[in-house]
Structure 1
Amino acid sequence: MVFIATLVILFMLLWQGMRWYRSTLLAEQRVQVAEEVALRGSALSSAINRRFTLLKGLDAFIKTEAQLDDFEERFLRYSANLHANTSGLHNIVVAPDGVIQYIYPPAGNEHLLGYNLLTTQTTDLRKDIELAIQTEEIILGLPLDYAQQEWGVSARKAVYLEGDHFWGLVIIVIDLP
């Protein structure tokens, strides 16, 4: 009888010890996952903020160059340089009056030329465009699948000339890892 009671007590201690060990392992795994998520989130936030700076630079480029006769040539040179020196930048779009007229790289994106962003039937896109125009801020869109298993996000900014004259939109599509 004493032997059985001892076995029961040992079994209960072993069972309790295993429960404690399992909960400790789970807690350690949670901490590791939280640290990894925080690190990746910080890296993604930093990458997006760097791309926002590029979008602000594109806005400044439009404000100084849009009225020139050779704007398309200047845009292509500027965008080629920007694209070549920035990893994770999928494409660059300029849409005077909300209509896509310039895109880099042009190859493979010809189907987007002439697309009117102001009259789009895509609800999320239309809301983002309206918000960019109303707030004059950079608006980050929802993630989109623009090719097979290639994801990105669009950052959009309204361009205003001479203070309050809406000129159009500048957009960059940022690759997501």
Structure 2
Amino acid sequence: MIPRRPLFIAAGAALATAIAGGAMTRIDAWYRALDKSALNPPDWAFAPGWTIIFALAALAATFGWRDAKTQRDRSLLVIFFFINAVLNIAWSAVFFTLRRPDWALAEVATLWISVAVIAVFLARFSRTASLLMLPYLGWVSFAAYLNYEVAALNGPFG
């Protein structure tokens, strides 16, 4: 059984993160002029991809909350997801708003670590929740590669 209140809170937090990150993302002339990897997905594919990833992360948070053994585990789970949300939004701000793919490359490493920490932490008490984080980890890995290609093909920045 999926607990409704934690699900609504996790979904709301995921939606807020998506909206904030989206507000920092500008697909404008600067972005279009960047040389990108041949593997770069079309611009329209990012929104549905992130929607799926955030939905899975919200489910992971809900299952993690439900299956956590202690209040301490629940508190840590909230802290880890909060840090992840801040890092997720920060990547968009650094890459698109500041127009610093080079700095964003360093930031995406911390984002990747935050997703990995959540997946490993969840595995302690909810294998399902941990597995639900793997698409997010895979996407951030791919995004890091795409970010690296933009930085390598277009630098220096600033």
Q: TM (normalized to structure 1)?
A: 0.26
Instruction: Report which of the two has the higher share of helix.
Output: 2
TM-score by length of structure 2 reads: 0.28
Q: Which has the larger radius of gyration?
A: 1
Higher strand share: 1
**Relative contact order, higher structure (CA 8 A, sep 6+):** 2
